Amino acid sequence: AFLDLSGVHQVKGTWMATTTLPCTYMPSEDFTQQMLSWSIERDHRTSTIFRRDESGDHILLSQFRDRVSVPKHSPGNASLLIENLEMPDSGHYTCKVIWRSKNNSLVTKEVATTVKVVKVAVTKPVIRVGELGLVVPAGARTSLTCVASGSPPISYRWFRSTPGGKALLLSSQAELAWDSLQPSDAGKYYCEAENR
């Protein structure tokens, strides 16, 4: 509907990751956006996080400084991007937009979203193989990449099993790369993913 804000009731955000709280409307030539604000309610207190008006964008809560933004040049998109989610970011968020019509009357709408920040354990890692696959000619370049999801930061370790069952630590990067594969590189490789 016209000048109706649409959002979502609940957003589950992953601790230390980035999330977007949607707040959008259909722009109209008859109305100009005067003011846009995002506020958070926690422990029965409401505080304004972000305000955009004629004087520009203002982040009013220090805990969100350098972590929140609203798209600049997309009319009708008032969504709030929150980076590096912290546990205390959980709460009830309200997006409020005020428009001025051509005859100078004001229209105000708001939409609320509940944010729940959760810590997510790392998933079992998946190994992505290079274009050449797992059977590779000697002298070729190739790589193995370890991929997992969960609350960042995620650290990776690559091991190679050696005769006698020892695991040899090869790398602490997500990618294990070879510039020129040798027959001696053939063998069993393992990757491990870990987060807090």
Per-residue pLDDT reduced to its tens digit, 11-30: 999 898 899 999 999 998 89
Tens digits of residue pLDDT in 115-145:
999 998 999 999 999 888 889 999 999 999 9
> What whole-number percentage of the chain has pLDDT above 70?
99
Mean local confidence (pLDDT), 87-116: 95
Cα–Cα dist 118/80, whole Å: 18
11, 21 Cβ separation under 8 angstroms: yes
Architecture of domain 5-118: Sandwich (2.60)
Q: Is the pLDDT of residue 2 over 80?
A: no
Smallest CA-to-CA distance from 162 within 145, 137, 134, 186 is with 186
Query: Rounded to an integer, what distance in angstroms lies between the CA atom of residue 79 and that of residue 69?
Result: 8
Q: Which tens digits make up the pLDDT trace of 143-179?
A: 999 999 988 889 999 999 877 778 889 999 999 999 9
Q: What is the CATH number of domain 126-195?
A: 2.60.40.10
Residue 97 has pLDDT above 60, yes or no: yes
Q: What is the pLDDT of residue 147?
A: 96
Mean model confidence pLDDT for the chain: 93
Look at residue 128 in the predicted model and tell me its pLDDT.
94
The reply to whether domains 5-118 and 126-195 share a CATH topology is yes
Q: Where are the domains of the chain?
A: 5-118, 126-195
pLDDT of 61 > 60? The answer is yes
Residue 160 contacts by C-beta under 8 Å, 6 or more apart in sequence? 167, 168, 170, 187, 188, 189, 190
**Using 50, 70 and 90 to split pLDDT, how confident is the model at 191?**
very high
Average the pLDDT over 183-192 and give the result.
Answer: 92
pTM above 0.75, yes or no: no
